């Protein structure tokens, strides 16, 4: 009798497993592409439908920062999340980690998947990266969505301030990164989230991260975004003020949505509100 009971229990567990597998959302598929300089780029892709949404992380982050967006938007669209070169699971071997090279990383993924109507979504430094991608393939990109970026497309940082900022990272990368990242959250942010993001970013390869910072400081999109006849959107927190008029002067079309009381990592701090605003933005893009 005990044996029969065990067999019955095993059958029930197997049935439950089969049911769970049948209803479980598709897991992001890990795939690879090769960037223009030969660096292997890892990305995840799931869902179907258009426009395709390509998510690009910021400095010293990776594609997991979009974990709260991919399953939601995969219900109605093709969604892709990229690990830029030197980040996450993507390859190393690049001598100079430039914004332009990152733009080619994303372009390689778009080409690998042969996506023809693409909304590029970039967090922080990813905002500059998606601009570079759009320059490479304007015929494929229908809009750019910056996430807590594009706050002031006319701002310039002095040479002394740049040097002082970089010196701290060269002296003690991990400690400086943790302090820097903690300052990008509001005072009432979830402590566990702050700790996880700060520790994760502080574990990035210093030689990559510092090279990226050096090149980000050299990079400017000023006077170039207007050349692309592509609408630009921004979903920003209010920790840093957004200069909307500068955005309108520097782009073909510029619209902003603000998440009050949120810091730099909007998609992690308040996924429900962020997803709602992103869905609204995508709907607006579809009407243009």
- Residue of higher predicted confidence among 23 and 196: 196
pTM: 0.89
Of 7-16, 120-129, 188-197, the poorest mean pLDDT is in 7-16
Residue whose C-alpha is closest to residue 144's, from 232, 221, 69, 57: 232
Q: What is residue 10's predicted lDDT score, i.e. its pLDDT?
A: 35
Q: What is residue 17's predicted lDDT score, i.e. its pLDDT?
A: 29
The percent of residues in the chain predicted with pLDDT above 90, rounded, is 82
Domains in the chain (CATH in brackets) are 30-154+224-287 (3.40.50.1820)
Average pLDDT over residues 120-145: 97
**Contact between 169 and 209 (Cβ < 8 Å):** yes
For 139-159, how does the pLDDT look when each residue is reduced to its tens digit (9 = 90+)?
A: 999 999 999 999 999 988 888
Alpha-carbon gap, residue 58 to 193, rounded angstroms? 17
114, pLDDT greater than 60: yes
For 90-104, how does the pLDDT look when each residue is reduced to its tens digit (9 = 90+)?
A: 999 999 999 999 999
């Amino acid at each position: 009798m005990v044996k029969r009971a065990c067999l019955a229990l095993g059958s029930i567990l197997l049935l439950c497993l089969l049911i769970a597998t049948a209803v479980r959302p598709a897991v992001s598929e890990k795939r690879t592409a090769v960037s223009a300089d030969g660096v292997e780029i890892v990305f995840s892709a799931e869902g179907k439908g258009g426009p395709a949404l390509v998510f690009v992380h910021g400095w010293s982050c990776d594609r997991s920062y979009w974990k709260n967006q991919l399953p939601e938007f995969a219900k109605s669209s093709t969604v892709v999340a990229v690990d830029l070169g030197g980040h996450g699971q993507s390859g190393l071997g690049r001598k100079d980690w430039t914004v332009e090279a990152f733009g080619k990383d994303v372009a390689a993924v778009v080409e690998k998947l042969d996506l023809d109507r693409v909304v590029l979504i970039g967090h922080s430094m990813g905002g500059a990266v998606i601009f570079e991608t759009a320059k490479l393939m304007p015929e494929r990109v229908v809009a750019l969505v910056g996430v807590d970026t594009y706050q002031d497309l006319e701002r310039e940082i002095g040479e002394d301030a740049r040097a002082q900022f970089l010196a701290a990272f060269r002296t003690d990368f991990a400690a400086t990164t943790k302090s820097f990242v903690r300052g990008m959250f509001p005072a009432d942010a979830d402590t566990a989230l702050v700790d996880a993001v700060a520790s994760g970013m502080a574990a990035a390869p210093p030689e990559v991260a510092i090279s990226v910072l050096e090149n980000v400081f050299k990079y400017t999109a000023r006077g170039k975004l207007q050349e692309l006849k592509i609408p630009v959107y921004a979903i920003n927190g209010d920790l840093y003020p957004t200069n909307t008029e500068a955005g309108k002067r520097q782009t073909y079309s510029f619209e902003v949505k603000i998440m009050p009381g949120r810091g730099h990592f909007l998609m992690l701090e308040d996924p429900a509100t962020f997803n709602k605003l992103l869905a609204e933005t995508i709907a607006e893009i579809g009407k243009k």
